[in-house]
């Protein structure tokens, strides 16, 4: 089996698995306890928090663990809009956001909030000028993703962050596909909140985090989303998922150490596939691009599911476009203005640092 769907999820790294084992077996204490048996749990949680924070140059106090990218996105949008109702009820997102953002925005609309959905250009890029033009006196939040999950396009976040800062608008980015793929530091990005997820970086499924910039003043500008106990500095209730948090920390640290090398490796895979297909597959169209792990391509005249099933029968896993929607045309490809023929023949190939050049050749063959 050749796995080329790493934008959907990645294999768990052996070191991350090892890191979680003590907290699934002997070290089962609840980190919230006060007796000494809890100390190791607490220390492990704070170690992992720092490991995750270090990837984006944040402080540990700015990292809040969640159940994944979807929860982080829901929290950022709903928590911010509901906390700032007095300031305004206007939210700006882009047309190519993940459904965790799109559906959260739709839910907010049903609560009476107003949403502006910004278009993208033919490469899937949101113009910072368009963000600026859409900002109104009652705009509370702008949420634009870091790297797109279907086409890998990297958004100009620093410029968008600067626009938001100039207008005093809160800025969130869904960096689930950008984290450890596209180098960025929280401070230079200018984001107030950043969503990240573990299972895209070789940690287990069901763990993620929301970075909340220190100056964001939680509770005043952002309401907790999950209510209950006092965990995560009163911002995200629920007994912490310590085994997965420990694994997330280790995966983040390993990813940080390998990031440059992994990105170069994946760029080489991508360049090699593009070169071969351009020569050997007449009519192939490459779509978007930017993040090293995603290659979106189309064979106009063929249907994605046929291509995908054909590759599957040959032991190669790729996805239609996004793993999250079955049987519907991609909203991302539609927003880019691509022709129905190109959209209907599109597949997404996505790599990890474990993907080999032989596997890339097998895909081309």
CA gap 309, 319 in Å, rounded: 10
Task: Tell me the closest approach of the beta carbon of residue 35 to ligand PLP, in angstroms.
Answer: 33
Q: Which two tokens stand for residue 50?
A: 């720092």
Stretch binding ligand PLP (CB under 6 A), from 64-72, 242-250, 329-337, 339-347:
64-72
Place of tokens 């709903």: 78
Stretch binding ligand PLP (CB under 6 A), from 69-77, 158-166, 238-246, 340-348:
69-77
How crowded is residue 339: how many other Cβ atoms within 10 Å of its Cβ?
12
**From candidates 51, 74, 143, 177, binder to ligand PLP by CB under 6 A:** 177
The answer to whether 174 and 145 are in contact (CB under 8 A) is: yes
Stretch binding ligand PLP (CB under 6 A), from 118-126, 169-177, 181-189, 211-219:
169-177
Q: 3-class DSSP state for residue 145?
A: coil
Q: 3-class DSSP state for residue 16?
A: helix
Residue 241 found at the interface with ligand PLP (CB under 6 A): no
How many residues make contact with ligand PLP (CB under 6 A)? 14
Q: 3-class DSSP state for residue 179?
A: coil
Strand order across the beta sheet in which 193-197 lies? 63-66, 208-212, 193-197, 170-174, 139-143, 90-94, 114-118
How crowded is residue 326: how many other Cβ atoms within 10 Å of its Cβ?
8
CA gap 143, 171 in Å, rounded: 6
Burial level of 256, CB count in 10 A (0-12/13-18/19+)? middle
The answer to whether 247 and 12 are in contact (CB under 8 A) is: yes
Short-list 147, 153, 355, 181, CA closest to 269? 355
Give phi and psi for 245, each to the nearest 5: -65, -45
89 or 293, CB closer to ligand PLP? 293
Query: Residues 79-98: x/- map of binding to ligand PLP (CB under 6 A)?
Result: -------------------x
Residue 252 found at the interface with ligand PLP (CB under 6 A): no
Residue 197 found at the interface with ligand PLP (CB under 6 A): yes
**From candidates 5, 62, 155, 174, binder to ligand PLP by CB under 6 A:** 174
Task: Tell me the closest approach of the beta carbon of residue 76 to ligand PLP, in angstroms.
Answer: 11
Residue 69 found at the interface with ligand PLP (CB under 6 A): yes
Task: Tell me the closest approach of the beta carbon of residue 71 to ligand PLP, in angstroms.
Answer: 7
153 or 177, CB closer to ligand PLP? 177
Residue 208 found at the interface with ligand PLP (CB under 6 A): yes
Cα radius of gyration rounded to whole Å, the chain = 21
Place of tokens 């899937």: 124
Residue 332 found at the interface with ligand PLP (CB under 6 A): no
Task: Tell me the closest approach of the beta carbon of residue 42 to ligand PLP, in angstroms.
Answer: 25
Task: Tell me the closest approach of the beta carbon of residue 197 to ligand PLP, in angstroms.
Answer: 3
Task: Tell me the closest approach of the beta carbon of residue 144 to ligand PLP, in angstroms.
Answer: 11
CA gap 243, 229 in Å, rounded: 19
Does the active-site annotation cover 324? yes
Residue 176 found at the interface with ligand PLP (CB under 6 A): yes
Task: Tell me the closest approach of the beta carbon of residue 199 to ligand PLP, in angstroms.
Answer: 6
Query: Residues 12-51: x/- map of binding to ligand PLP (CB under 6 A)?
Result: ----------------------------------------
Residue 227, CA distances (Å) to 117, 194, 222, 232, 235 in order: 29, 20, 13, 11, 8
Q: Give kind and range of the element (H or E) at residue 227.
A: none
Torsional sign, CA 179, 183, 185, 186: negative
Q: Which two tokens stand for residue 28?
A: 């089962």
Stretch binding ligand PLP (CB under 6 A), from 66-74, 216-224, 248-256, 340-348:
66-74
Residue 194 found at the interface with ligand PLP (CB under 6 A): no
**From candidates 6, 13, 51, 70, binder to ligand PLP by CB under 6 A:** 70
Within 97-136, the residues that bind ligand PLP by CB under 6 A are 98, 100
What residues are annotated to the active site?
Answer: 324
Point out which residues bind ligand PLP (CB under 6 A): 68-70, 73, 98, 100, 145, 149, 174, 176-177, 197, 199, 208
């Amino acid at each position: 089996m050749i796995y080329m769907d790493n934008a959907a999820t990645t294999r768990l790294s052996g070191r991350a698995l090892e890191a979680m084992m003590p907290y699934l077996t002997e070290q089962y204490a609840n980190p919230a306890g006060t007796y000494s048996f809890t100390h190791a749990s607490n220390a492990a949680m704070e170690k992992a928090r720092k490991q995750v924070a270090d990837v984006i140059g944040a402080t540990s106090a700015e990292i809040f663990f969640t159940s994944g990218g979807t929860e982080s996105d829901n929290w950022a949008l709903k928590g911010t809009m509901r906390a700032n109702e007095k300031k305004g009820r206007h939210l700006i997102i882009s047309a190519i956001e993940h459904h965790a953002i799109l559906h959260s925005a739709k839910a907010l609309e049903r609560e009476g909030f107003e949403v502006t959905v910004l278009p993208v250009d033919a490469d899937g890029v949101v113009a910072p000028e368009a963000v600026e033009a859409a900002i109104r006196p009652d705009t509370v939040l702008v949420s634009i993703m870091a790297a797109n999950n279907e086409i890998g396009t990297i958004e100009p976040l620093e410029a968008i962050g600067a626009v938001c800062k100039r207008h005093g608008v809160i800025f969130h980015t869904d960096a689930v596909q950008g984290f450890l793929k596209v180098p960025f530091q929280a401070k230079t990005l200018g984001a107030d909140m950043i969503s990240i997820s573990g299972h895209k970086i070789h940690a287990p499924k069901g763990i993620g985090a929301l970075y909340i910039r220190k100056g964001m003043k939680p509770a005043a500008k952002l309401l907790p989303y999950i209510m209950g106990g006092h965990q995560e500095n009163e911002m995200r209730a629920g007994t912490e998922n310590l085994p997965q948090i420990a694994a997330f920390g280790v995966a983040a640290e390993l990813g940080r150490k390998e990031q440059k090398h992994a990105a170069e490796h994946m760029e080489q895979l991508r360049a090699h596939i593009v070169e071969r297909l351009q020569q050997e597959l007449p009519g192939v169209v490459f779509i978007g691009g930017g993040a090293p792990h995603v290659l979106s391509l189309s064979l106009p005249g063929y249907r994605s599911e046929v291509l995908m099933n054909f590759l599957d029968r040959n032991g190669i896993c790729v996805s239609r476009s996004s793993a999250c929607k079955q049987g519907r045309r991609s909203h991302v490809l539609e927003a880019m203005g691509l022709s129905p023929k190109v959209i209907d023949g599109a597949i997404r190939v996505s790599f990890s640092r474990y993907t080999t050049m032989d596997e890339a050749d097998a895909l081309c063959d």
